[in-house]
Amino acid sequence: MSYVKAYSQMITAMLEPASWDEVYFSLLSAKSQLQSLPGWQGFEMWANKKSSGDIKLVVVTNWEHEEQLEVWMDNEASVGAILRAMNPPPLSMDMELYEEIL
């Protein structure tokens, strides 16, 4: 039988360059908040500047229990909520959920 080690939320977004500084520093602030929450296991962020000048962003948060991830996703300081609050907002944003299987 498989054992689930982590529950993860992955958000992929395309951003206008004008929003990058605000997004970057807002997500760094969110990471510092996450470090004090029960069940939080990790936060990873990758960015890639496309030839169009837009920025592709991938953010993954990892949680010990599924319920902790669900509570986080409803939080106004979640990655999705932060990105939706940016001005300008993301050009596109997708969210996927994963379970790490050992």
pLDDT digits (tens, 9 = 90+) for 42-99: 999 999 999 999 999 999 999 999 899 998 888 888 999 999 999 999 999 999 999 9
Tokens 């500047």 belong to residue: 49
Query: For the segment 18-30, what is each residue's pLDDT rounded down to a tens digit?
Result: 999 999 999 999 8
- Residue ranges per domain, the chain? 4-101
The more confident residue out of 37 and 50 is: 50
Instruction: Report CA-CA distances (Å) from 73 to 1, 25, 27, 52, 70.
Output: 28, 19, 14, 30, 5
Architecture of the 4-101 domain? 2-Layer Sandwich (3.30)
| pLDDT greater than 70 at residue 2 | no
Output the CA torsion 21→24→26→30 (10° steps): -170
Q: Which two tokens stand for residue 32?
A: 């510092």
CA of residue 84 relative to chain centroid, distance: 12
Q: Which pLDDT value is given to residue 4?
A: 60
Q: Which pLDDT value is given to residue 3?
A: 59
Whole-structure pTM value: 0.89
Q: Prior bond to 88 cis, omega within 30?
A: yes
The stretch 3-21 carries a mean pLDDT of: 90
